[in-house]
Amino acid sequence: MRPFDYLAPTDAATAVRTVATNPTATYLAGGTNLVDHLKLGITHPDLLVDTAAITTAGITDHHGGLLIGAATRNSDIAADHRVRTRYPALAEALLSGASGQLRNMATAAGNPLQRTRCPYFQDATTPCNKRRPGSGCAAIGGHTRGHAILGASDHCVATHPSDMAVALTALDATLHILGPDGPRTLPCTDLHRLPGTDPTRDTVLEHGDLITAIELPHNPLARRSRYRKVRDRASYAFALVSVAAALETTDGIITDARLAFGGVAHKPWRAYRAEQALLGQPANDTTYRTAAEAELTDAQPLNGLDGGNSFKVPLLTRTVIATLRNLDQR
Amino acid sequence: MNAIGQDIPRRDGHAKVTGNATYAYETDVDNAAYCALLQATIAKGHITEIDITDALALPGVLTILTPGDVQKLAHVDNPELAVLQDNHIAYRGQIIGAVIADTSEIARHATELIHLSYHVDDHDSAFTADRDDLHTPKALVTGAPADTTTGDVDTAMRTAPHTIDHTYSTATNHNNPLEPHATTALWQDDTLVLWDSTQGVHAVRTDLAEVLRLRPDQVRVICPYVGGGFGAKGEPHAHVVIAALAARALPCRPVRLALTRAQMFTLVGYRPPTVQHTRLAADDTGALTAIAITSTSPTSAMREYVEHAAAPTRMMYAAPNRATRHRLAALDIAVPTWMRAPGECPGMFGPEVAIDELATALGIDPIDLRVANEPEVDPETGKPFSSRNLVACLRQGADRFGWADRAPRREGDWLVGTGVAAAVFPAFTNRATASIRYERGHYVVEIGAADLGTGAWTVLPQIAADALGVPLHLVDIGIGDTTYPYASVAGGSTGTATWGSAVLVAAETFRDKFGTDPTEGDEAEGSHDTGPFNEHYSTYAFGAQFAEVRVHADTAEIRVPRLLGVFAAGRIINPRTARSQFTGGMTMGLSMALHETSSLDPRFGHVINHDLAEYHIASCADATDVQAYWIDEEDPHVNPLGAKGIGEIGIVGTAAAIVNAAHHATGVRVRDLPLTLDKLLPGLP
Amino acid sequence: MDHHRRVDTEITTRVDGVTRTVLVDTRTTLLDALRERLGTTSPKKGCDHGQCGACTVLLDGRRVLACLTLAVTTTGKDVTTADGLAPDGHLHPVQQAFLDNDALQCGYCTPGQVCSAVGALDELANGHPSHAGDVTTDPQLTRAEIAERMSGNLCRCGTYTNIITAVEQAARA
Ligand SMILES: Cc1cc2nc3c(=O)[nH]c(=O)nc-3n(C[C@H](O)[C@H](O)[C@H](O)COP(=O)(O)OP(=O)(O)OC[C@H]3O[C@@H](n4cnc5c(N)ncnc54)[C@H](O)[C@@H]3O)c2cc1C
Ligand code: SF4
Ligand code: FES
Ligand code: FES
């Protein structure tokens, strides 16, 4: 790990200017991803700017919804009664991620900004376009069990690992951002990018942008939401696939739905096509299957040394069905 | 008064629950320097240039070891230990340098500032069992031949009414003890002190003295506590030599070296994968007429290691026609080594699943099928078993587990099934000497043994107390130091039996010499020697593993809510620590069954999931109910103590029991480990 | 980039009840500060990447991973290790329960398990939900809840079944 300076500023605007004007500066929140990456030699900042004193921890009521301060710990979000009853999918997503210790450290802002767990990305001795632009993608033709089936490119087939971000995407959350030009908001659905020809960028954020809060909009539908994560270990493992869903039915007919997938793409995958396919249909397995298949028509599973990841297509379909069935029966 | 058999809490327990037990890296020394390793990023070739100018210029860097620039080491059996002797690279991740600095941060940083050029040769790291360059090893580690044949398996397979002919495979597993290998080394007054995380201090001393061209008395190795080893710390690996060289380069200054978790995936061995072509032939009653296995594994071109996975098939079941074979592919990969129950652990996977397949095909209960094929004598040697209580284990296990009522069922979203498999592990002993000294009213037992969590701190005093006929609290114990008498490595489940037998002899000698009223300072030694204690018998521990498996009907997620094992392992010295050994092995078996696989990428030549987030071992939520029981077994033929060794048998058969249960639950037969949901998914409705 | 920049910083932290001032590198993790600079080796290093839980300590009363915490961020904070849970050697009920139930073998994961259990029981007492239960209701003390909450602490020796029993015993004590 290379040496770096450490700053713990108290004024957000100054901090944003400091980072925005220094390409080798980066924000530090819980550190659970950044410190890991410093050790792995994935990133080499000259300056760490601690966000502890420039962002707030805590959840406040906000226009009928909730405003989660960027510094709020993952565990505190999941423990909040308003989140648990009004946005259960978010609480479930957070609780299905990492471990108790990590959730006590990880922050609201840091979680959606964590980077892929692609093993080649994390092994600085192998080629990786995300880590070293133009070096190639070692995952292609390698071990691809954890990789993408949707929206990947020839340059990168990584998946986004966050559970929280999948729930935020389904729940129409909005980010509050302080940039060098002042504050702005950004829908969570627009935060993450597909890799395209530039996998180095995970999100649309500009260097220096500081996430200050995450807003959960008022939406009664969110009360009937769930997060279902499928993984190899019973706990403390990243998703093979995951589904965040919310469902409203009237007389057995689906009147509203939200659906997002994790573990299958470079970003949390909002399943608009599947949502469309659900609306107005009877709430049953056939409908759910049709909806999942509608979303997955473009799926491009990868071959791989380990047998690849084509299993994710049926797995995701079945997980969607199970999750929606379970929601309907709740 | 009987200390043996008592449920005695661990003597080292207090130190461990507070964290005050001192592991190798934590040794309290002044002014330590820190050593970080540089590793090859090619799989084969040589270094053409190494530029350490920038690294050396970094403030705080003390010295840098580079290839060809260190002491000429003596040639020893283990080529791994010949570190930095030349520019040659035999596998990706090989140590090619080391930085020693004032702080660990600086040492690690400096390794990034070393500039290297390589000449790259084509490497070959891709293992398949149908390569055309497989070879037959000269012998197994036990000295047994690589291949054995009795009768005519092919004919039996052609003529039998029922046959099973499948290929099963086990994955590459890394031992991954939770404490990464570590050494604190100090060179002072022409002697080397190594506080090393090892399963055997004397083994480290012997190898290090030899390779460094020192007299054994110039090397002292100390290791009171080991954070697990499971075979990976059974002999010194290259980094111990590096630590010693680093200390020699900085006389009088202690040097600390700990491997990173990633380095644990290249530098300290692993269980190689096995591909097991397994064949069974049986008549209508289920009696086997043939049993055969060919086990193929990769090994490192640098050093041969044979995973003797075909060995247990030689003695497990009766059958007139038998064949076992081992084949190897020598590749440009890191060197494999022993991992908990080498041979038996993978070797009881294929055959025990095959037996289950045969039982299903015949419609016979898998327990009854095993009972029907019990051999009268060891089919391999023709000798009687000193004791063989497999049937008792199966029967008792069936009762305790609730085997009788085992129809597969559905509970909510979960498909539920049960499975069984047999376990076996050889019982043998090694060489050790123990001393007993009378000091201030206490009996001080000293022996260079190791406690890997196995309980040596606690059980050796129990043995000594009974042998001396004194209350347990009057026995003190010292282990893990080469200043104590020689003890064999904690491996092959020989520890307690070997060291305990030495303690028994020492106690007898002590009493013979000094009677029951010794005076201060009286001291006696006693030894136990290698070799069969009674060569007229075949000596093995046996066990039966039972598993309940739940498979989610939608997602195929797999859970093992219940594991139950019953073992016949001779005399149990301490039921508390023994139970933990069994359940610990079973939990690791569960981990092997469901999770563990090291993904080697042959394009690069190394394992790519080299951390504990990607290489999964079972977590707490995976193993919530693991129970072990045992049969009271008196076996006077195994060794003076009558104990068979319990450290490894718990992992044997577990994976097969789980895979068999998953089949019972779903009807899907998985023959390749690990059993992950993607393998069951296509077979679910 | 200037490789030679010295980035030494002094921090003052309370460790197991004692105020300690120590010079660290900005790169130094809390784990390395404790183990390599303060001689507090109770927390263990099993992976150094947040993947095993061996380094678990209580930071201002909450369980965290010392290996992913930069020491510079802990100034003014309170660090408790497993050693600090047993002042003068008097074991904490969780530690006693670990001993009673043989919830340890090699002992390397144990201090982290103990700190994690103390933190987990506190979280449970405060009504924090977990993946093992329904988030809309209050969590109960069950073996499944304990197992899920203890899953961030790997034990290669496989002592989990006994750990669950020990934590259950400590919780009911
Ligand atoms: C072993 C392990 C297992 C895990 N398992 C899971 C899992 O199953 N599911 C899951 O979802 N996650 C998992 N995680 C990841 C974990 O959730 C993330 O590391 C964590 O949420 C990141 O939050 P942080 O506050 O620690 O971020 P940091 O590491 O501090 O920062 C992450 C990134 O965000 C940037 N950043 C931080 N705050 C701001 C801000 N306010 N504005 C702008 N940029 C900012 C940083 O510069 C950095 O680039 C796991 C992590 C580990 C180590
Ligand atoms: S998939 Fe993306 S992150 Fe992984 S190696 Fe390829 S480019 Fe890198
Ligand atoms: S050492 Fe911190 S989690 Fe493993
Ligand atoms: S007791 Fe050894 S790792 Fe847990």
Tens-place pLDDT, residues B270-316: 999 999 999 999 999 999 999 999 999 999 999 999 999 999 999 99
Chain B residues whose beta carbon lies within 8 Å of the beta carbon of residue C47: 261, 611-612
Average pLDDT over residues A174-192: 98
Q: How far is CA B404 from the centre of its chain?
A: 34
Q: What is the pLDDT of residue C1?
A: 44
Does the predicted TM-score (pTM) go above 0.95? yes
> Would an 8 Å CB–CB cutoff place B54 in contact with chain A?
no
pLDDT at C6: 63
Task: Tell me the C-alpha distance between B506 and B348, whole Å.
Answer: 38
Whole-number Å distance between alpha carbons of B606 and B598 = 9
Once rounded to an integer, what is the mean pLDDT over residues A230-251?
A: 98
Q: Which fold has domain A54-330?
A: Enolase-like; domain 1 (3.30.390)
- B307 included as an active-site residue: no
Structural domain boundaries of chain A?
A: 5-50, 54-330
Q: DSSP character for B617?
A: -
Indicate the length of chain C as a whole number. Answer: 173
Q: How confident is the model at residue B494 (pLDDT cuts 50, 70, 90)?
A: confident
Residue B194's beta-bridge partner residues? B185, B221
C72, amino acid identity? V
Contacts with A, B 83-102, CB within 8 Å: none
Q: A120 by DSSP, 3-state: which? A: helix
State how far the Cα of B256 lies from the Cα of B185, in Å rounded to an integer. Answer: 6
Average pLDDT, chain C: 96
Q: What is the pLDDT of residues B427-483, one digit of tens each?
A: 988 999 999 999 999 999 999 999 999 999 999 999 999 999 999 999 999 999 999
Is residue C172 over pLDDT 60?
A: yes
Map tokens 């964590």 to a residue.
Answer: A114
In DSSP terms, A275 is beta-bridged to none
Q: What is the pLDDT of residue B492?
A: 80
* End-to-end CA separation in angstroms for chain A: 50
Flag if A142 and B601 touch (Cβ within 8 Å): yes
Enumerate the residues of chain A whose CB falls inside 8 A of the CB of residue C116: 100-101
- Decide if pLDDT at B192 tops 80: yes
* Domain annotation for chain C: domains and CATH numbers: 8-81 (3.10.20.30), 87-172 (1.10.150.120)
In this prediction, residues A128-141 reach a mean pLDDT of: 98
B269 Rama class: left (phi>0) / alpha (psi -120 to 50) / beta: left
C26: chain A residues, CB-CB within 8 Å: 3-6, 48
List Cβ neighbours of B363 (8 Å cut-off, separation of 6 or more). none
| Among the partner residues B15, B28, B179, nearest to C108 by beta-carbon distance | B179
Give yes or no for a contact between B348 and B652, defined as CB atoms under 8 angstroms apart: yes
* Lookup: tokens for B453: 């969590």
Q: Say which DSSP state C34 is in.
A: I
**pLDDT for residue A75 is more than 60:** yes
Place of tokens 């307690």: B496
Cα–Cα distance for residue pair B514/B535, rounded to 1 Å: 33
pLDDT in tens, C118-141: 999 999 999 999 999 999 999 999
Mark residue C102 as left, alpha or beta (left: phi above 0; alpha: psi -120 to 50; beta: remaining). Answer: left
C-alpha torsion angle, residues A8, A12, A17, A18 (rounded to 10): 0
Q: Is the distance from CB of A225 to CB of A246 less than 8 angstroms?
A: yes
Scan for tokens 């900085």, then name that residue. B250
- In this structure, the number of other CB atoms found within 10 A of the CB of residue B551 comes to 26
Which residues in chain B are contacts of C35 at CB distance < 8 A?
A: 25-26
Domains of chain B as residue ranges with CATH: 148-173+270-427+536-683 (3.30.365.10)
- C68 to A96: CB separation less than 8 angstroms, yes or no: no
pLDDT digit string, tens, across residues C73-83:
999 999 999 99
CA distance A32 to A103: 9
| B520 three-state secondary structure | coil
The predicted structure's pLDDT at residue C3: 54
DSSP B122: P
Q: Which mutation among A37, A129, A140, A305 tests ligand 2's pocket best, with the greatest number of atoms within 8 A of CB?
A: A129
Distance, in Å, from the CA atom of A88 to the CA atom of C92, rounded to the nearest integer, reads 35
Which of A4, A84, A95 lies at the smallest CB-CB distance from C136? A84
Residues 531-570 of B with CB under 8 A from C: none
pLDDT band of C4, cuts 50, 70, 90: low
Q: Are B530 and B432 in contact (CB under 8 A)?
A: no
Contact of B184 with B25, CB cutoff 8 Å: yes
Considering only CA atoms, give the Rg of chain B. Answer: 26
Peptide bond into A199 cis (omega under 30): no
Within B381-431, strands assigned E span 409-411, 414-426
Give residues with Cβ within 8 angstroms of A286, minimum separation 6.
none
Closest to B287 (Cα-Cα) out of B312, B318, B314: B318
Residue B1 has pLDDT above 70, yes or no: no
pLDDT tens per residue across span A44-68:
999 999 999 999 999 999 999 999 9
Ligand 3: nearest atom to the Cα of C53: 3
Quote the distance between the C-alpha of residue B494 and its chain's center: 12
Q: Provide the β-strand partners of residue A137.
A: A128
Instruction: Label each residue of B490-530 as H, E or C.
Output: CCCCCHHHHHHHHHHHHHHHHHHHHCCCCCCCCEEEEEECC
User: What residues flank ligand 1, with Cβ below 6 Å?
Assistant: A 26-34, 36, 51, 55, 70, 97-98, 102, 105-107, 109-111, 113-114, 161-164, 210-211, 238; B 613; C 50-51
Residues A86, A179: Cα–Cα separation, whole Å: 30
The mean pLDDT value for B507-526 works out to: 97
- Please tell me the distance from the alpha carbon of residue C2 to that of residue B480, in angstroms, as a whole number: 46
**For residue B16, which of C142, C166, C74 has the smallest C-alpha distance?**
C166
**What's the mean pLDDT when you consider all of chain B?**
97
Judge contact between A9 and A20, C-beta under 8 A. Answer: no
Distance CA(B85)–CA(B72), nearest Å, equals: 7
The span from the CA of B607 to the CA of B615, in Å, is 10
Residue B496 · residue B456 · CB < 8 Å: yes
DSSP summary character for residue B682: G
- Helices and strands counted in chain A (H then E): 12, 12
User: Nearest CA to C80 among C66, C91, C90, C69?
Assistant: C66
CA-to-CA separations, C108 to A109, A271, B10, in angstroms, rounded: 33, 45, 14
Test mutation, B22, B25, B109, B178, chain C, max C CBs within 10 A: B178
Question: CA-to-CA distance for B486 and B276, rounded, in angstroms?
Answer: 39
C100 at A interface, C-beta within 8 A: no
Give the helix, strand, coil percentages of chain B, each rounded to 5.
25, 25, 45
pLDDT at residue C2 greater than cutoff 60: no
End-to-end CA distance of chain C: 57
Residue B59 pLDDT class (50, 70, 90 cuts) = very high
Question: Minimal Cα distance from C113: which residue of B?
Answer: B17
C4, C83, C147 member nearest B59 (Cβ) = C4
pLDDT tens sequence across B360-373: 999 999 999 999 99
**Percent of chain C beyond pLDDT 70?**
97
What are chain B's partners, defined as 3 or more CB pairs within 8 angstroms? A, C
Rounded CA-CA distance A15/A207 in Å is 12
Residue B214 reports pLDDT greater than 90: yes
C7 or A126, which is more confident: A126
Whether residue C9 is predicted with pLDDT greater than 50 in this model: the reply is: yes
Q: What separation in angstroms does the CA of C169 have from each of A166, C101, C143, C154, C172?
A: 37, 9, 11, 20, 5
Q: Span B115-120, mean pLDDT?
A: 98
Question: CA-CA distance, B4 to C85, in Å (whole number)?
Answer: 33
Helix ranges restricted to H, A201-311 = 272-278, 285-296
The answer to whether B239 and B464 are in contact (CB under 8 A) is: no
Q: Where are the alpha helices (DSSP H) in A24-124?
A: 34-40, 74-79, 81-86, 88-95, 100-105, 110-113, 119-122
CATH number of A5-50: 3.30.43.10
Q: What is the DSSP-derived secondary structure letter of residue C33?
A: I
On the CB side of B516, CA atoms within 13 Å amount to 5
3-state SS class at B677: helix
Q: What is the pLDDT of residues A80-99, one digit of tens each?
A: 999 999 999 999 999 999 99
Q: Is residue B112 classed as helix, strand or coil in its secondary structure?
A: helix
